[in-house]
Amino acid sequence: MTQSSSPSYQYGSIPVVTLDTNNDEQHDTITHKKESSAAFFHHHRRPGCRASGPILLAAGIALLFLAALYSTASTTSTTHNKKKMWQKVQRSPGDTPHYFSQKVDHFDSSNTDTWPQRYFIETKFFRGPGHPIILVVGGEGGIDTGMFYPFVDQYLAEHWGALVLHPEHRFYGVSQPVDPVTNEELVQLLTLPNAIEDMLAIVRRFKNQYHCSLDKTSPHYCPVIAVGGSYPAFVATLMRIHYPDQVDIAYASSAPLKLWSMDADQFGYMDVVTRVTDQVAPGCAQAVRETLEAVDRQIRHVDDDYIHFARHDLNICPGTIPTYITNAELLSQEMMMIVGYTFADFNMFAYPPDHSTDLYDVCHHVFLNDHYNTPTEKLSQFWKYVEFYNDNLLPCFDMSSQLPAGHHSSISGADWSGVGVGYDGMMFDFHCCSTLTPAIGFSHESMFPYRPWTLEWLTQHCERRFQVTPKPYKLLHMYHFDDLIRANATKILFTNGLNDMWSAGSLLESISDDLPVINMVNGAHHSDLSNHPDDHLDTPDVVEAHQQIRAVLEQWLQEIRDQQY
C-alpha cells in the first residue's frame, strides 16, 4: 500500500522527517530452545491474522483436508502452526526484527544485567514529531512474523502518520532475559510490572530518537496509543491506567478483564464455544456431546485395556500417550481437554462466520458426517483433522504433540483453554500458575463433558509442575482493574466480538464516554484488528466497528492536540 499524500486525518503539523532505523526437581533450569518456540496460535494467547484471500485459502484447505481425510495420511504438530500459516501470507514491510537492550530486572537496582528484546518497527507512514506512536503490546507467544494487525499497523498508521512498534513479551519467542532460567528466577522476572517496563523503555527510546517532545502541550509531542488483543489488551489497559503520563490512549480488543479479576462465570467461555458452534453448524454441538459421552463410557468400560483401546479404536499413535496418564479415567479426561481447547481455537478464528472456517469444516466433515457411524470413528476422524490442521502427515494421532515443554507437563495445563505447546506453552503455563489465573471450566450445558475448574486443582498442578502456588488476586490488588472509575481510568476503548468466547470475561457495556465499548455481533477474537478495511472482507458490523473505532481514537487524539500551543 502506498502512502497517501493527503490522509483524511492529519495529526499535528510538523514537517515530515527522514527516519533512520538502523520435569525433574523444581530447581532445575529451563533452557530456551529456538526450535520449540513456534508462534503461539492459541486463543487469547495469540492474536489472529487473516490472509488477504481467506476464502480462497480456506477453500484450498478444505479440499486438501478432504483428500487427506479419505486417505490414511493426516497431519500433526500443535494447534498453533496454522497461526503461522496465516501470518506468512500477511507479511508486512515492518517484518525485519530488531533488538533493544533491556534490563533483566527493572526493579532490582543491584542487577545490571541486560538482554536483547526482539521488536518490529513500521516507519513508512511516520511523519515525524507531533504524530502518534502506536505500541502494539507483545503477548504470550513469539512474534516471528513481524507485524500482524493490518487495521492498526497499516490502516490507522497511514491515516495518522504514526510510528508502529511491536516488542516481543519477555520470556516468549526469542526474547529471553535469562537462558537457561530457574523457576525461582521466573517468579521474579516473568511479571507484569517487568513486562510493562520493557514496553515503556522501548517507547522512550524511540521518542528520544525521533525528537518527540516530552511536553504534552508541545506540537512536537507524540501521543502513545497502546494496542493489544486478549492478554496484550489487558496489559494495554493497565499501562493506560497506571502510566497515564506515558500512555495517552489504550485500544483493548477482546480484553478479558473480568476473567483476571475472578469476576467472570467460569463456565461462560466454553458455553460461548458451544453456542457459536451450533450457530455455525446447527446440530454440531449435540453431535460432539453425544460422541464424547459415548467414547468416555467406552474408555471407562475397557478399564485396564485403555492403551489398546486408544491405539486400535481411537487411532492414537503407539507410544505417544503421555506417561503420566496411568488409567482410563485420566486418558478420557485429557482427550476431552484436547477436543475442548481445539474447538476453542476454531471458534476464535470463525470469522467471517461462513462456510470457509475450520469450525464449520470440522462439524460438517466429521461430527455431522453420516459416513462415520460410531463415536470412535468420529473421534478418530477428528484427530485426523487436528493433525492436518497442525501441518503434520502421520497416519495416527500423536497425543504427545499436545504437551508443552518442561518437566511434569500435562495436557490439562494451568489454563484450560489451552496453554499451548513447546517452550512458549511452558512459559504461559508458568505465567498462569503465578499471577494470571484464568478460571475456565466445562458446564453441564456445554458440548463437552462436565468438568468444573477449581483453585485446588490449579494449585496441585502448579506446585507439582513448578513448585509455585497461584496468586489469583495479586494483579487485582496491584492494579485495581475491577473498578475503572475508581481507578480514574480514561481514554480506553474496549472492543469485543460477541462470537468470541473471551467476551464471556470482557466488559460488554460502556462505562463512560471515556471508557466506551464497541461490540461486533459477528466478530470473533479481535476480528477488528486482523483485517484491513480496504480488503472488503468484513461483515457489516465489523465495518461499522472500524469506523467507530477510528472516530473515537481520533477524537481523543484531537483532544490532546487541542491542549497544544
Residue range 351-408, pLDDT digits in tens = 999 999 999 999 999 999 999 999 999 999 999 999 887 777 788 999 999 999 999 9
- Kindly state whether residue 99 falls inside one of the protein's structural domains: no
Residues of the chain with pLDDT under 50: 1-28, 34-92
Q: What is the CATH number of the domain that holds 273?
A: 1.20.120.980
DSSP secondary structure of 406-468: STT--SS-SSTT---SHHHHHHHHHHHHHT------B-TTSSS--B---HHHHHHHHHHHTS-
pLDDT at 94: 72
Torsion angle (degrees, nearest 10) of CA 260, 261, 265, 269: -20
221, amino acid identity: Y
d(CA 62, CA 284): 18
- Are 398 and 272 in a shared domain? yes
- Are 309 and 333 in a shared domain? yes
Residue after which a domain boundary falls, among 431, 465, 499: 465
- Kindly state whether residue 3 falls inside one of the protein's structural domains: no
- Are 220 and 317 in a shared domain? no
Domain that holds residue 255: 126-262+477-562
Q: How many domains does the chain have?
A: 2
Q: Which helix (H) or strand (E) holds 181?
A: strand 181-182
- Kindly state whether residue 343 falls inside one of the protein's structural domains: yes
Q: Are 89 and 57 in contact (CB under 8 A)?
A: yes
Residue after which a domain boundary falls, among 465, 489, 514: 465
- Are 391 and 457 in a shared domain? yes
Q: Are 491 and 556 in contact (CB under 8 A)?
A: yes
- Are 395 and 518 in a shared domain? no
355 Cβ contact list (under 8 Å, min separation 6): none
- Are 338 and 439 in a shared domain? yes
Q: Decide the pairing of beta strands 163-167 and 133-136.
A: parallel
3-state secondary structure of 565: coil
- Are 520 and 425 in a shared domain? no
- Are 320 and 445 in a shared domain? yes
- Kindly state whether residue 55 falls inside one of the protein's structural domains: no
- Kindly state whether residue 80 falls inside one of the protein's structural domains: no
Total-model pTM? 0.87
Q: Are 403 and 410 in contact (CB under 8 A)?
A: yes
d(CA 343, CA 270): 9
- Are 275 and 189 in a shared domain? no
Q: Bridge-partner residues for 221, per DSSP?
A: 213
Q: What is the CATH number of the domain that holds 179?
A: 3.40.50.1820
Residue after which a domain boundary falls, among 412, 431, 465: 465
- Kindly state whether residue 84 falls inside one of the protein's structural domains: no
d(CA 438, CA 260): 6
Check residue 488 and give left, alpha or beta (phi > 0: left; psi -120 to 50: alpha). left
Cell triple for residue 21?
A: 532505523
- Kindly state whether residue 5 falls inside one of the protein's structural domains: no
pLDDT at 82: 34
DSSP 8-state secondary structure symbol assigned to residue 396: S
- Cis ω on the peptide bond leading into residue 180 (within 30° of 0)? yes
- Are 291 and 335 in a shared domain? yes
- Kindly give the interhelix angle for 231-242 and 192-209, rounded to the nearest 10 degrees: 70
- Are 438 and 535 in a shared domain? no
Q: Are 30 and 183 in contact (CB under 8 A)?
A: yes
- Kindly state whether residue 182 falls inside one of the protein's structural domains: yes
- Are 271 and 188 in a shared domain? no
Which candidate, 313, 346, 376, 378, places its Cα nearest to that of 499?
346
